[in-house]
Amino acid sequence: ASNDSMAVVMVDCDHFKTINDRHGHFFGDLALKKLGSTMRRVLPVETLAGRFGGEEFIVLLPPHLVASAAEVAEALRLAVRAIHLDSGRRQVSLSISMGVAKSHPNDESVQDVLNRADRALLQAKGKGRDQVVVG
């Protein structure tokens, strides 16, 4: 891989609106915080991750992790499946859908990679959620 190669993972918390509607915004915020702390715990320390808006997160993987981007995403998916939050009424589990895209030499900007990751994320959601799709 060249020095400027990277991978982007778009992460979406599945059925987040339902979680918010059913359990309230305070609980929804708790779910997002737990998702964030799980990302910090599971993702390699040299990745950059942040909230991209709403219930979406974005993860940037450095060059030496590009080849294993799908495996990194799958490890995160499994860790999130293990989250069980107590809403006071019942246990709530979380799942995430992810789209992975790798940079190409012919990309004009980072936006090209983001667009591919976003399309892969939409495929993951369309195929039933709780999965990783590489674009």
Cα 83 to Cα 7, 14, 57, 92, 131: the distances in Å are 25, 13, 17, 8, 16
Catalytic residue among 55, 71, 74, 108: 55
Confidence (pLDDT) at 87: 82
Known catalytic residue: 55? yes
Stated pTM of the model: 0.93
Element (H, E) at 9: strand 7-13
Confidence (pLDDT) at 115: 96
Confidence (pLDDT) at 54: 87
The average pLDDT across 116-135 equals 97
pLDDT tens digits, 58-112: 999 999 999 999 999 999 999 999 999 998 888 899 999 999 999 999 999 989 9
pLDDT bucket at 4, cuts 50 / 70 / 90: low
Distance CA 131, CA 17 (A): 19
pLDDT tens digits, 39-57: 999 999 999 999 998 899 9
Element (H, E) at 76: helix 69-81
Query: Is it the case that residue 1 has pLDDT exceeding 80?
Result: no
